[in-house]
Each structure stands twice: as structure tokens, then as C-alpha cells.
Amino acid sequence: MTQRSLTDAHIVDSFTADAEFALQVDQGETFTVETRDRFEPLFRGEPLDRASVVALVGPVAIEGVRAGDVVEIEIVDIKSRTGFGYLLRNQTFGLFKTDIEERVEAIPVSSQTITLPGDIPVPSAPMIGKLGLLRSEPDDDKPVTQAGGAFSSIVLGPGTKLYLEAERD
């Protein structure tokens, strides 16, 4: 059986109750989702806008899942499409938030290493930004719920199993 795939042509800005499914899969089926890095326009020399930052790919329907079911999602692999990641420096986060110049910088990424400015190699840790199930209400004010959300964490990398509660059929 050929593994099904969802391309990044299926862009939405939120996973809400009225979203149309871009792909339907069976329970237990492995599939691929091509996502976009929210800073990818910078790689192409384009300005960053809100649409790029909130762009999501999907949603995917899982046959037979009903509201209240707990769904196991296993992240099998994460690969960079561009060979770059992005180092975000701003005054909102971190220890030195008032003492840094705000900017976004493209950083070369290989499968094992990220090279920081000054040619400093550090281990690569790919991550999932936002992942979840369709919500019964808008998720703008709730970054993470039992149905998923904006994780932005290297903890959710390859080999991770995430358990989410379905809010809708």
C-alpha cells in the first residue's frame, strides 16, 4: 500500500469546527504531511507576514474518531525542506530579553547539526510547531488544550507519541 501524503498546498489559518478535511486516513495508518516553516518566506527573501506565521497544513480526518476519543499520534520523522532553520532573537523571550537586538537569522541545518553564528555546531533537534485535532471552538486564546495546540518544543520530535482528546466527530 502506498503511503498517503498531504502537501503544503492545503493551508488553513486554524483548525476549527467548520474546517474542511484535506485528507482522510484510517486509524493506525502512517501518512506524510508537508508543512511550512513559519519563517520560510525569509529563506526566499520575502517579508514575513501574519499569514505565514499562522499557516497550518490540513486538517486530516481519521476514520472512526468520535468526540471524547483519545487519539495516539506518533511523530515518525521530521525533515527540513530548505536545509535551514531560523534563530529568532527578540525582546519577548529569554534571559537577556532587554539587552538583545531583535532579528531573525537563517541557520544551516543538517540531519545531525545546526551551525550557529560564529561557526558553532550544536546538535540538531527538529520540532513540531502546532499539532492537534479539530477544535469545537476557536483556539486563538488557548495555545495548548487537550486537543493539541502550539507546542513549539523540541520535546515533540521523532519517536514522540502524543495523546490528544477529540472534541468533535
State pLDDT tens for residues 57-89.
888 889 999 989 999 999 998 887 777 777 766
> In which band, very low, low, confident or very high, does the pLDDT at 90 lie, cut at 50, 70 and 90?
low
**Does residue 38 surpass a pLDDT of 90?**
no
Is 47 strand, coil or helix? coil
Distance CA 62, CA 97 (A): 42
Q: Are strands 70-74 and 84-89 parallel, antiparallel or unpaired?
A: unpaired
Q: Which residues of 114-124 are buried (b: 16+ CB within 10 A; e: fewer)?
A: beeeeeeeeeb
Q: Which helix (H) or strand (E) holds 40?
A: helix 40-43
Cβ(37)–Cβ(57) below 8 Å: no
Q: List all residues 6 or more positions away from 121 whose beta carbon is below 8 Å from its beta carbon.
A: 113, 114, 115
